């Protein structure tokens, strides 16, 4: 029996990235949104499609 990691559902890393981006925007108002978005995209290894989704649909509020 091998020790396997549970398979993550599609969209899990996008949700995690979104939560982190929201947190970073609150903690670092001095940094640009695009800089923080890029940081999150790299950390979570998002696909170009996922990056586009976050960029288009998550606005600074």
Under 8 Å between Cβ of 58 and 18: yes
pLDDT at position 61: 47
Residue 7: CB atoms within 10 A of its CB come to: 7
| DSSP helix/strand/coil, 24 | helix
pLDDT-derived band at 9, boundaries 50, 70, 90: low
Residue 56: CB atoms within 10 A of its CB come to: 8
Q: Is the pTM above the cut of 0.85?
A: no
More confident site: 55 or 8: 55
Structure tokens given for 60? 């600074």
27-60 confidence digits (pLDDT tens):
999 999 889 999 999 999 999 999 898 888 876 5
Rounded Cα–Cα distance for residues 32 and 14 (Å): 20
């Amino acid at each position: 029996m091998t020790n396997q990691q549970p398979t993550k559902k599609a969209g899990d890393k996008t949700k995690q990235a979104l939560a982190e981006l929201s947190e970073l925007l609150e903690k670092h108002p001095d940094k640009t949104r695009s800089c923080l978005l890029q940081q999150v995209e790299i950390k979570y290894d998002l696909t170009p499609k996922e990056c586009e989704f976050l960029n288009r649909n998550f606005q600074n509020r």
